[in-house]
Every structure is written in C-alpha cells, then in structure tokens.
C-alpha cells in the first residue's frame, strides 16, 4: 500500500519531471524504505509534488494533476461520508454481517465508478502508436487524457442522478410498508450519502475536470497548428 501511494504521488508530478526522475525516485524508495521508513518517504514525495506544482509554469499539467487528485479524493471520501451519516441515523439491521454488506454497497458503487470513468467508457487502453513517431504518440496521449477528463466532466453527474433516483424508490416503498424497516433505513442512508457526493461533484469536481479538458484541448490544437506549419 505504501509503495502504491508513493507511485501515485510520483504520477502527480509534471510529465517532464516524471520522465526524467520517476524511475530514479522509485529506485530510491526501494533502497531506502527500511532505513528511512515509508511515512517519511511519502512525506518527501508529497513535498516534492507541491514544490513542482508551484514552481512549474505548465498550466495544462497543473490542471490535470489537480483534477486527477480531486477525482480520487472524491471517490474515497464516500467512506467517511457514509460512516458519518450512518452514525447519525443508526440504520436498522438484523445481523452484523448484514450491516457490513449494507455499508459496503455504496462504497463498492463509487469504487467501481472510478476505473470506469478513468477509461473514458471506451473499454480500451491507450491506442497503439508507433515509437518512430514520438510526436504522434504524444498527441494520442493528450487526446486520450482529454477524453477521460471529459467523461468525468460530462457523464459523472448523469450517473449520480440516476443512482440517486434509483435509491429514492426503496425509500418510498419503505414508507408504504412498515415491515420494510431495514430496507428503508439503509436506503435513506444511501440517498443522503449519494446526495452529498452529487452536490460535491457539481460544486467542485465538474468544474475542475472541465478546466482540464479545456487546457488539454488548447494544447492539442497548438500542437496541431505547429505540425501544420512544419508540414507547410
């Protein structure tokens, strides 16, 4: 887990920094883990990310890093949100195992949403590009990133509203039938949790991903214009 977090922090660095120092940082981590400890290495990597983000002038890379980090934080935030809501409402359960299953359901939904959006709904990895044409390879990567952030910006809200509407139905059924107390109490928890995540998405996350899309589109168009000038 610590190594995964360290690798994720490396990915938050600017692309040029990663290409130049990424492998070196990973090697230093593997060699220094026992002597320095994982927490200290994670702290060093986090400070490095902040320093690179503040000092570099590439706004496109910065907006991508911010949107990417917020997307992951937003997905994981469903866990503390659900814990808080459940602790306040005390939903009815019959057994301990049932409580665990009910609690894991919304978390599983959001964790499944993350890889789906990060693939841009295409179901495909980055397309093949010839290594003999690094310019085209770079262009394809930019277009791929734009499509992913566009999926986050345009599709996440629709998915959340559909999920929210789906869980409103069990709440209404539970209000009509007194015996459905367990389903009703947990459905209410789900509705509140999803509503909080939906509001957070529209208030912050959607805007950040839209900015990343705009920045990437501008970078793509600039590269296309530069290529056109060279060809002419």
Sequence ranges of the domains in the chain = 1-56, 59-231
Q: pLDDT digit string (tens) for 50-107?
A: 776 655 545 677 788 888 888 999 999 999 999 999 889 888 776 777 778 888 888 8
- 229 pLDDT higher than 50: no
d(CA 209, CA 215): 10
d(CA 209, CA 100): 33
Q: pLDDT digit string (tens) for 108-163?
A: 989 988 888 887 655 554 444 444 455 577 788 888 989 999 999 999 999 999 99
Both structure tokens of 58: 């590439």
- Give the pLDDT band (50/70/90) at residue 196: very high
Res 81: pLDDT: 92
Res 177: pLDDT: 59
User: Is 39 in contact with 197 (CB distance < 8 Å)?
Assistant: no
Q: pLDDT digit string (tens) for 140-149?
A: 888 898 999 9
Res 199: pLDDT: 95
Instruction: Please classify residue 170 by burial: count the beta carbons closer than 10 Å to its beta carbon, then call 0-12 exposed, 13-18 middle and 19+ buried.
Output: middle
């Amino acid at each position: 887990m610590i190594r995964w977090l360290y690798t994720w922090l490396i990915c938050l660095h600017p692309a040029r920094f990663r290409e130049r120092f990424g492998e070196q940082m990973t090697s230093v981590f593997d060699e220094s883990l026992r002597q320095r400890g994982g927490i200290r290495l994670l702290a060093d990597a986090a400070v490095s990310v902040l320093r690179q983000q503040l000092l570099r002038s590439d706004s496109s890379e910065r907006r991508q890093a911010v949107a990417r980090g917020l997307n992951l934080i937003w997905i994981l935030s469903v866990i503390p949100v659900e814990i808080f809501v459940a602790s306040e409402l005390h939903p009815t359960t019959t057994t301990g195992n049932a409580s665990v299953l009910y609690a894991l359901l919304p978390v599983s939904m959001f964790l499944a949403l993350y890889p789906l959006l990060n693939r841009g709904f295409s179901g495909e990895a980055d397309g093949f590009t010839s290594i003999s044409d690094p310019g085209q390879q770079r262009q394809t990567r930019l277009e791929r990133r734009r499509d992913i952030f566009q999926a986050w910006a345009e599709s996440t809200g629709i998915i959340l509203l559909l999920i929210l509407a789906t869980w409103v139905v069990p709440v209404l059924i539970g209000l009509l039938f007194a015996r459905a107390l367990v389903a009703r109490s947990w459905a209410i928890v789900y509705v509140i949790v999803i509503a909080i995540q939906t509001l957070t998405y529209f208030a912050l996350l959607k805007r950040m991903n839209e900015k990343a899309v705009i920045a990437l589109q501008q970078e793509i168009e600039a590269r296309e214009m530069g290529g056109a000038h060279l060809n002419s």
